[in-house]
Structures are given as C-alpha cells and as structure tokens.
C-alpha cells in the first residue's frame, strides 16, 4: 500500500496477526539525519503509483510462497517526510520465527530493488535524487 | 502495425530524476511505436543525453518492467524508471 | 523488562527510535492455538524475575556490541496469557537494516536459550511445562 | 568454611517443573554448603529422582548460572533452573 499519511505499526500488526502464528517480524525504515556524511533536512518520496502497488503485491505474494508465511503487509509513504518519520513498514506473520525474519528481510530487500519509488534528499547543498547518479 | 500510430509521437512518462531531465512529467518521442524497447532507449539517449549520466534506467510498459527486445505498441503506457530508491 | 501487563509495540518503538537510525526491526512472539498438533487453551509464564532481568540485560548489551546497534528493547510477559496474546517483543534500532535484522534475531534466539522463564501449556489433556521432559 | 553453615540445611528455590517436583517453591538439602555444584546436583537427584526425568537442569548461584566446579557458599541464593521456555 502507498500512503500520503503517517504509517501505523499497530495497523500492520493487526493485519498480519493470527492465532495460528507464533512469530511476527517487522521492519520499519525511518528517515536518518545523516546520509553519506551529509546533513539531511527532509525528504520527498515520489512513486509511479499503479506500478509500485503491483510490484509491492508481487513481492508480498513471492515472500508468502517462498517462506510459507501466513500474511505480509507492506506500506510505503509518499510525499514530504521529516527526519525520524517512517518511510516504510514491512510486517510478516508465520508459525515460527525463522521464516518470519527471512521473509521480512526478503521483502525490504526486494522493495529496494524493484518498486518504482524515488527518494529526493534535501540537504544544505541542494537536492539529490538518491541512487540516480554514479 | 498501424502506419498512423507509427507516426504519432509517443507520450513517455517521467518520474524522479527523469522528470528533471525531461523538464516535466512526460516527454514525446516520435517513430517509437512498432520498434523495440532497445531502440526507444537509443532514441532517448540521443534526444536527452543527460539520461546517459544516470547509473542506469529501465523502461516500463503497461506497469511492468520491459525487456530490451519487447515491442512498443501504440497505446502502451511507457514510463522511464530511473534507479529506484524506496525504503 | 518483565511485565504482568500487556506489552506495547508502540512503546518499544518509541524507546529504540533515534534520528541517526534508518532501520528498526521488531520481533513479536504470540501465543499459538496449536503446538505439536495439540490444541492449546491458554498459557502461563513463570519467571525467576531478578535473574531473568539480568540475563535479558546481558543479551541486550551483547547484541548492541556485536551488531553495532543503537538501542535494544526486550519485553517479556509473565502470568496468564490467552491465544493471540503477545508473550515477547524485541525491538532494535540501527543505522542500517542488515544489523537490525541480525541483532533482533540474535536477541530472541538467546532469550530462548538462557533467560529463566518457563511456559506452562494448558491443553484439553492437562498441563505441560514446555521443553522440560524428553 | 563455617562448620555450622555446613550443617544448616540449604534452601533451594524451585521454578516451573522444579516447583512441581519439589511440591513447592523451595526445598531444603543439608550437607550442601562448602561443596561443589556437581555434588549438589548429585544430592538432588538422589533425594528427588524425578529431576533425572527432565531433559536437563541448571543451577543458578546468586542470579548467575553456576559451573559444576563452583563452590556453594552458605548464604548463596541457589536456584534450580529447569529447561527454559521463554518467548
């Protein structure tokens, strides 16, 4: 899911929790005050929304199948974010804990490779689209 | 292959750094429909050399990543996907 | 921390979050309705409290040092729990995501090895102290 | 080594399944202070054979896991730690 509003860890927990699941793993990606030694004032996330949602869904389905998970929730912010704000929440649930950790890490790793979302960093020396230039 | 579609300039959507390079949310390339994604990429690099300064860029066709050998059809939604940076 | 009251994921997030951290990882262990094919009605956790708190603190310190984490929070319930209730929450924060996942998994793995907490399962066929007998 | 302490029965705390085996939150063993943890374990197995049916059990001395070679002192807080099952 893409959202212009703050993301809620509790909502993600409610979505994935189930009586048959003993292990829930969450990853929360937040905005850091420093990147590559440069002070960051704020960030902007831009998404090619329909394709981003499709790619996120593909990752969730792949993670469920590959790690035998019960449920996967993947929420990403768009728009302007301040330092400390939550950019992404991955939540997965599973019978046991090992696949929960593996599945959660798989989801965030894949998101960073394939989902068409772009991050623009605002620093004292100007703005930069992350990962764009060598 | 529709001769007219071939001649109609194709609208290509631009996000992130691509939007900055194009100077807006889209650009037009003609002579693209009916050709491969690879030839679209070449046209793009010729008309907008700044795309060559990026680490890489992909092309999406109808909300899916496209292969270089895919054919671009008139009416497709074509989007330039600069290196992603979610999370 | 040991607590007889419900555990809060939000409290754990507030404790570990920091502007210098880009990655937070959480593990939530919940009570499953089935264990080894047997239907579980509820559970009781008993702790040797002062030593449990000491061992939990040792694990948190070890995880911080070993994985270079910013903060570690480790909360475990005691008393009677129902199916779906949260037994344990591990929360860790780190600059980057890889050590966050590794550190979080280390903490829950170690907790299950060394922290003096015991789980008694109530099933239709009686009560069982988990792991106690072959 | 205090001769009197040696003779005073030592209170040993019991949790979980150990509490069930002992029939309460503690048990007393005499002739324990001044000896090793290993000999305490032997005494325990002799007086309460049901501990031998467990997968294993550890002994804690003053809120730390004890080694078999550690000496149990009078006044120590000694606890039987059956297989843990947190999480």
Distance from CA of C40 to the nearest CA of D (A): 16
List, for residues A104-132, the tens digit of each pLDDT value: 999 999 999 999 999 999 998 899 999 99
Cβ–Cβ under 8 Å, residues A17 and A68: no
Closest CA in chain C for residue D16 = C118
Contact: A117, B83; criterion CB under 8 Å: no
Smallest CA-to-CA distance from A17 within C33, D85, C107 is with: C33
Indicate the SS3 state at residue A4: coil
Mind listing the pLDDT tens digit of every residue in chain B (87 residues)?
A: 455 555 689 999 999 999 999 999 999 998 899 999 999 999 999 999 999 999 999 999 999 999 999 999 999 999 999 999 999
List CB contacts (< 8 A) between C83 and chain A: 19
Q: How many domains does chain C have?
A: 1
Please report how the helices A9-16 and C9-16 are oriented relative to each other, as an axis angle in degrees rounded to 10: 140
Q: How far apart are CA D45 and CA D50, in angstroms?
A: 7
* Residue at C24 is within a domain: yes
Cβ neighbors of B25 (< 8 A, separation 6 or more) are B13, B14, B15, B19
Percentage above 70 pLDDT, chain C: 100
Q: Please list the pLDDT of chain A residue by residue as tens digits (134 residues).
A: 999 999 999 999 999 999 999 999 999 999 998 877 788 889 999 999 999 999 999 999 999 999 999 999 999 999 999 999 999 999 999 999 999 999 999 999 999 999 999 999 999 889 999 999 99
Whether A133 is in a domain gets the answer no
Would the CA dihedral through D9, D10, D11, D12 be positive or negative? negative
Give the pLDDT of residue B6.
Answer: 56
The answer to whether residue A131 sits within a structural domain is no
**Is residue A59 in some structural domain?**
yes
Task: Give the nearest chain A residue to C29 (CA atoms).
Answer: A23
pLDDT of the residue at B4: 55
CA distances from C130 to A11, A129, C27 (A): 32, 53, 21
pLDDT for position B75:
93
The encoded tokens of residue D68 equal 């078999």
The sign of the torsion formed by the CA atoms of B77, B78, B82, B83 equals: positive
Q: Which residues contact C44 (CB under 8 A, 6 or more apart)?
A: C79, C80, C81, C119, C120, C122
A134 located within any domain = no
Q: Which of B13, B15, B14, B47 is nearest to B30 (CA)?
A: B47
Residue A42, domain CATH = 3.90.1170.40
DSSP H helices, chain D, are 3-7, 17-22, 37-47
Q: What is the mean pLDDT of residues D42-61?
A: 97
Candidates A9, A19, A33; nearest CB to C84: A19
Q: What's the confidence (pLDDT) of residue A40?
A: 87
Residue C14 lies in a domain: yes
Residue C13 has pLDDT above 80, yes or no: yes
- Is residue C27, in this structure, part of any structural domain at all? yes
Which positions in chain A touch C23 (Cβ < 8 Å)? 27-30
Q: What is the reported pTM?
A: 0.93
Class of domain B5-81: alpha beta
The answer to whether C32 contacts A24, with C-beta atoms less than 8 Å apart, is no
Q: What is the pLDDT of residues C69-127, one digit of tens each?
A: 999 999 999 999 999 999 999 999 999 999 999 999 999 999 999 999 999 999 988 99
Q: In which domain, by residue range, is C57 found?
A: 2-125
| CB burial readout A67-85, b (16+ within 10 A) else e | bebbbbbbbbbbeebebee
Q: State the pLDDT at residue D7.
A: 66
Which chain B residues contact residue A76 at CB under 8 A?
Answer: 86-87
**Over chain C, what is the mean pLDDT?**
95
At B15, phi and psi to the nearest 5? -125, 160
């Amino acid at each position: 899911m893409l959202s212009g509003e703050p993301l809620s860890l509790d909502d993600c927990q409610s979505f994935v929790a189930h009586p048959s699941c003993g292990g829930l793993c969450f990853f929360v990606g937040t905005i850091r005050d420093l990147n590559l030694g440069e002070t960051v004032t704020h960030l902007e996330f831009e998404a090619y929304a329909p394709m981003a949602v499709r790619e996120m869904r593909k990752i969730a389905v792949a993670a469920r199948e590959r790690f035998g998970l019960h449920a996967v929730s993947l929420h990403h912010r768009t728009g302007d974010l301040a330092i400390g704000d939550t950019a992404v929440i991955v939540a997965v649930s599973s019978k046991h804990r090992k696949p929960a950790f593996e599945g959660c890490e798989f989801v965030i790793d894949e998101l960073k490779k394939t989902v068409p979302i772009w991050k623009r960093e605002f620093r004292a020396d100007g703005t930069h689209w992350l990962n764009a230039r060598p | 292959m529709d001769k007219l579609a071939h001649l109609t300039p194709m609208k290509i959507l631009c996000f992130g750094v691509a939007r900055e390079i194009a100077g807006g949310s889209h650009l037009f390339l003609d002579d693209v429909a009916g050709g491969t994604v690879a030839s679209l990429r070449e046209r793009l690099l010729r008309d907008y050399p700044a795309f060559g300064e990026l680490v890489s860029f992909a092309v999406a066709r109808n909300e899916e990543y496209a292969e270089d050998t895919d054919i671009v059809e008139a009416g497709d939604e074509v989007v330039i996907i600069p290196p992603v940076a979610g999370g």
